[in-house]
C-alpha cells in the first residue's frame, strides 16, 4: 500500500470494521453556523470533508444546552442543535447519511453532567460566571449572587453550597443518558462516548473528591459503583452493534491548577479492567490545554504503554498532538496505540489531505501554528470561523461562487517575502502560473523570523520552514536583496503586493526619545536590554516580547489598558500557552510569577528615558523607574511604495499588511482570494 500502510489500514473495533486508524475528536471550529437548530450547510460540509479525507470515526458535539444562547462572550454564538425538534431530526438523519457515504462512523459525547447545582459530595463550591450569563442554579443553596469582578478582571464568581447527588439523581442521570444514546441511534449514529476522568463519572471514582459515606463513597468498590453501573446499563440498552468510546485524561494528565485527573493510577487501571467487557475504544485525550509536541514520546503514549503493560485489552486511540502523519504512522505501527486522534491536521489542510495521505506526502501537510483562532479569536472578535493557515475554513461550502479564475497562464510578480507573500507565490505556482517573488531583505520570512524565540513561536517556525520548502518544491523564482520598483514589475501580467508593515512609535509624550525597542527589533538585541524592563501594551506581540525577556532573567512589568494579558488571543487555548510562561496556574485562581508584573486597565501618560508615568485604574498617577522601555504604536506600511507599484501594474492585488490586514489569517485569506482570481 502506498502512503501510510498502517494509518490507512482497516481495524476491527467491537462489531465494526473501521476504514482507517484516524479518529476526529470533538473539535468543531467555532461560529461555523448561525442560529439554526439543525446542522447547517457549513457544518455538514466541514464534517463531510473530514470523512472524505480519511477519518474513520467523527466525534459529534451534542450541543443542546438551552441556556447556551444566553451566555456572554462567544458561547452564545456556537452551533446549538435541538434534537427534540422533529424537523431538526430530519437534518440529523441526513447528516448521518452524508458521513456514511464515505464509510465513516459517527459518535456523540453523552454529557453526564445534567445537574449544574449538584456535586458528588455536596459542600461549598465556586465557579466563574460570565457577566450577563444565565446559569442553571438548581441545587445551589445560599447566596447565588455573583461576586464583583475581581481585581485582575476575571469573571464574577458564585460561592454557594451544592447539593449532594441522591440515589434518585443518579438513576435519573443514567436513564437520561440511555435515552439520549437511543435517540442518536435512531438518527443513524454508530457510537456513543462519555468521559470517565472529568465530570461526575471521574469525580465519583476519586477519593480526593468523593467524601460520601453511603454506598457510593468510601471504598474503591463503592466509588466505582455509579460509573461502572452507568457504563454497564448504557451497553445493555444500545446493544453490541453500537460502539462505546470512553474519553479519559489518563495517567499524569492534570487540570489547570496542577491537580491530577487520576490521583490513583492503580485504581484507574483496575477500573479500566472492570469496564473492559463493555467498552470498545479508549480515547486518551490528555491535558485539555497541552501543546502539540514535536517529539516521539508524549505523555499520552507513555500512558498507553502503562495501560497495555497492565494487561488491559481495550484498543487505544491517542490524542498525542502530533502534527505529522510520519509520527502518527510510527506510533500506530509500533503497536503502542491502535488509532490516532487528530484535529489540527484535518483543520489546517482542507480538501486535499486525503490525497496527501494516500501518496505519503508528509512534507506537504500544512502544520498547525497553534494560534487558536479556530476556537474563537477573542472575547471581542468577529463571530466567523477561521484558520490562519487554511483560508478555506468557513467558506469552503461556497467557494464555487467566490472563485473566478481567468483560466489562462500568467506571469505573476509577488512583492514581499513574508509568510503572506510566500503563500501567494506557492499557490499561484501550483495553479500553473510563472511566479517570481521579490524580497528586499536577504532572507525570507518577514516577522516570522523572530518566531523561534517566542512561546508560541515554535509552531510559527515550523510553518515558515514549510513555506520555504514549498517555494523550493514548486520552483518559484526567488529574488532576495531585491526591492521591487515600478520598472521591475511593469513586464508582469499580475502583481501581488505583499509588503509587510513595521512598528511605529506610540502616540505618548516623550516616546521619540524614551522608547528603546519595539516588539520586533528587541529580538536580536537582547544583550542591549537592561535588567528592569517595562513593556507598554498587553497585546500578543508585546506580551510575547515581555515573556521572552522574562525567561532570560529580566524583571518585567507590562502596562496594558485591557483587563488581561494577550487579550487578542483566544482565551481558552492559545492564551494558555502564553500565560504558562509567566503565571502560576491559569484562570481565575492563577497569579503571575515573581518578577513578572501586569498592571491592567492602566493608561500610560508620559515616557522619559528610564521612567514611565501612567494612570492606574483608580485614576492615580504613578511612576516606574526602569532600564529599558519597549513600546509599539501600531503597524504601518509604506503607502507611497504600494501606490507606485499598483500604478505600474497591469493588474494588481493588495494582500496582508498592504491591505491593512495586520494578522496572519486575514493575510493568507487575502492571498488565497487573489490567486483564485488569476
Positive or negative CA dihedral for 164, 168, 171, 172? negative
Torsion of CA 163, 166, 171, 175, to 10 degrees: -10
pLDDT of residue 159: 46
Give SS3 for 293: coil
Number of alpha carbons in the 13 Å side-chain half-sphere of residue 218: 5
pLDDT of residue 67: 56
Residues 6 or more apart from 17 whose CB is under 8 A from it?
10, 11
**389-420 confidence digits (pLDDT tens):** 999 999 999 888 887 777 899 999 999 999 99
Positive or negative CA dihedral for 659, 660, 666, 668? positive
**55-84 confidence digits (pLDDT tens):** 999 998 776 655 555 555 566 667 778 888
pLDDT of residue 372: 78
Distance in angstroms (rounded) separating the CA atoms of residues 49 and 392: 12
Residue 158's Cα: distance from chain center in Å?
A: 28
Contact predicate 31/376, CB 8 Å: yes
By DSSP bridging, strand 502-503 and strand 635-636 are antiparallel
Quote the percentage of the chain above a pLDDT of 70.
Answer: 85
Domains annotated for the chain, with CATH where assigned, are: 11-115+165-375 (3.20.20.70), 117-164 (no CATH), 407-501+637-675 (3.40.50.720), 511-634 (3.50.50.60)
Bridge partners of residue 108, in order along the sequence: 60, 192
Average pLDDT over residues 594-604: 94
**290-340 confidence digits (pLDDT tens):** 444 445 578 889 899 999 999 999 999 998 878 789 999 999 999 999 999
Quote the percentage of the chain above a pLDDT of 90.
Answer: 61
Evaluate if residue 673 carries a pLDDT over 50: yes
**1-25 confidence digits (pLDDT tens):** 578 999 999 999 999 999 999 999 9
pLDDT of residue 82: 85
Enter the C-alpha cell of residue 238.
444500545
**559-571 confidence digits (pLDDT tens):** 999 887 877 766 5
Enter the C-alpha cell of residue 599.
498592571
CB atoms within 10 A of CB 86: 7
Query: In angstroms, how far is the first alpha carbon of the chain from the final one?
Result: 37
Enter the C-alpha cell of residue 55.
477519518
pLDDT of residue 144: 45
pTM: 0.89
Average pLDDT over residues 344-364: 94
DSSP 154: P
What residue ranges in 19-121 does DSSP mark as E strands?
A: 22-24, 57-60, 105-109, 118-119
**433-446 confidence digits (pLDDT tens):** 999 999 999 999 99
Enter the C-alpha cell of residue 655.
494582500
Contact predicate 634/520, CB 8 Å: no
Contact predicate 604/613, CB 8 Å: yes
Amino acid at each position: 500500500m502506498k502512503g501510510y500502510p498502517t494509518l490507512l489500514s482497516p481495524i476491527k473495533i467491537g462489531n465494526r470494521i473501521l476504514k482507517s486508524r484516524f479518529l476526529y475528536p470533538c473539535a468543531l471550529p467555532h461560529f461555523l453556523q448561525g442560529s439554526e437548530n439543525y446542522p447547517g450547510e457549513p457544518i455538514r460540509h466541514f464534517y463531510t470533508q473530514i470523512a472524505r479525507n480519511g477519518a474513520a470515526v467523527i466525534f459529534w458535539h451534542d450541543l443542546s444546552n438551552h441556556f447556551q444562547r444566553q451566555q456572554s462572550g462567544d458561547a452564545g454564538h456556537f452551533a446549538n442543535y435541538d434534537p427534540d425538534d422533529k424537523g431538526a431530526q430530519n437534518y440529523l438523519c441526513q447528516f448521518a447519511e452524508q458521513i456514511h457515504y464515505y464509510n465513516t462512523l459517527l459518535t456523540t459525547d453523552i454529557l453526564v453532567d445534567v445537574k449544574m447545582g449538584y456535586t458528588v459530595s455536596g459542600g461549598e463550591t465556586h465557579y466563574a460566571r460570565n457577566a450577563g450569563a444565565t446559569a442553571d442554579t438548581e441545587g445551589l443553596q445560599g447566596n447565588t449572587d455573583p461576586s464583583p469582578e475581581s481585581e485582575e478582571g476575571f469573571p464574577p464568581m458564585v460561592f454557594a453550597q451544592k447539593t449532594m447527588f441522591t440515589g434518585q439523581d443518579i438513576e435519573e442521570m443514567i436513564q437520561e443518558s440511555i435515552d439520549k444514546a437511543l435517540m442518536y441511534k435512531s438518527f443513524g449514529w454508530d457510537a456513543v462516548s462519555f468521559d470517565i476522568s472529568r465530570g461526575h463519572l471521574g469525580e465519583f471514582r476519586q477519593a480526593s473528591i468523593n467524601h460520601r459515606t453511603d454506598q457510593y463513597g468510601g471504598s474503591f468498590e463503592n466509588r466505582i459503583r455509579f460509573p461502572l453501573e452507568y457504563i454497564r446499563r448504557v451497553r445493555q440498552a444500545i446493544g453490541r452493534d453500537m460502539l462505546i468510546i470512553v474519553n479519559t485524561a489518563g495517567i499524569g494528565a492534570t487540570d489547570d491548577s496542577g491537580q491530577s485527573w487520576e490521583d490513583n493510577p492503580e485504581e484507574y487501571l483496575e477500573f479500566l479492567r472492570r469496564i473492559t467487557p463493555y467498552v470498545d475504544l479508549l480515547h486518551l485525550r490528555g491535558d485539555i490545554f497541552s501543546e502539540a509536541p514535536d517529539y516521539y514520546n508524549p505523555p499520552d503514549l507513555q500512558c498507553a504503554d502503562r495501560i497495555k503493560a497492565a494487561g488491559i485489552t481495550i484498543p487505544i486511540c491517542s490524542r498525542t498532538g502530533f502534527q505529522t502523519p510520519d509520527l502518527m504512522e510510527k506510533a500506530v505501527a509500533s503497536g503502542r496505540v491502535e488509532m490516532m486522534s487528530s484535529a489540527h491536521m484535518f483543520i489546517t489542510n482542507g480538501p486535499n489531505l486525503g490525497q496527501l495521505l494516500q501518496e505519503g506526502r508528509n512534507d506537504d501537510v500544512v502544520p498547525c501554528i497553534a494560534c487558536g483562532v479556530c476556537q474563537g479569536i477573542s472575547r471581542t472578535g468577529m463571530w466567523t470561523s477561521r484558520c490562519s493557515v487554511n483560508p478555506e475554513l468557513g467558506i469552503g461550502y461556497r467557494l464555487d461562487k467566490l472563485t473566478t479564475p481567468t483560466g489562462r497562464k500568467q506571469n505573476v510578480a509577488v512583492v514581499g517575502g513574508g509568510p503572506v507573500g510566500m503563500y501567494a507565490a506557492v499557490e499561484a505556482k501550483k495553479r500553473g502560473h510563472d511566479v517570481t517573488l521579490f524580497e528586499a531583505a536577504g532572507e525570507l520570512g518577514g516577522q516570522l523570523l523572530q518566531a523561534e524565540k517566542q512561546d508560541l513561536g515554535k509552531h510559527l517556525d515550523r510553518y515558515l520552514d514549510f513555506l520555504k520548502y514549498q517555494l523550493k518544491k514548486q520552483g518559484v523564482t526567488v529574488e532576495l536583496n531585491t526591492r521591487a520598483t515600478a520598472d521591475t514589475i511593469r513586464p508582469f501580467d499580475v502583481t501581488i503586493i505583499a509588503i509587510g508593515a513595521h512598528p511605529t512609535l506610540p502616540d505618548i509624550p516623550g516616546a521619540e526619545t524614551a522608547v528603546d525597542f519595539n516588539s520586533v527589533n528587541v529580538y536580536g538585541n537582547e544583550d542591549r536590554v537592561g535588567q528592569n524592563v517595562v513593556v507598554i501594551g498587553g497585546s500578543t506581540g508585546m506580551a510575547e516580547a515581555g515573556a521572552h525577556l522574562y525567561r532570560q532573567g529580566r524583571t518585567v512589568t507590562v502596562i496594558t489598558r485591557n483587563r488581561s494579558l494577550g487579550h487578542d488571543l483566544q482565551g481558552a487555548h492559545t492564551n494558555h500557552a502564553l500565560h504558562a510562561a509567566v503565571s502560576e496556574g491559569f484562570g481565575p485562581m492563577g497569579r503571575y510569577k515573581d518578577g513578572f508584573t501586569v498592571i491592567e486597565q492602566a493608561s500610560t501618560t508620559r515616557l522619559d528615558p528610564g521612567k514611565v508615568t501612567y494612570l492606574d485604574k483608580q485614576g492615580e498617577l504613578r511612576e516606574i523607574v526602569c532600564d529599558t522601555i519597549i513600546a509599539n504604536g501600531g503597524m504601518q506600511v509604506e503607502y507611497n511604495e504600494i501606490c507606485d507599484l499598483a500604478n505600474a501594474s497591469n493588474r494588481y492585488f493588495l494582500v496582508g499588511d498592504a491591505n491593512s490586514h495586520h494578522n496572519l489569517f486575514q493575510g493568507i485569506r487575502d492571498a488565497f482570494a487573489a490567486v483564485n482570481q488569476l
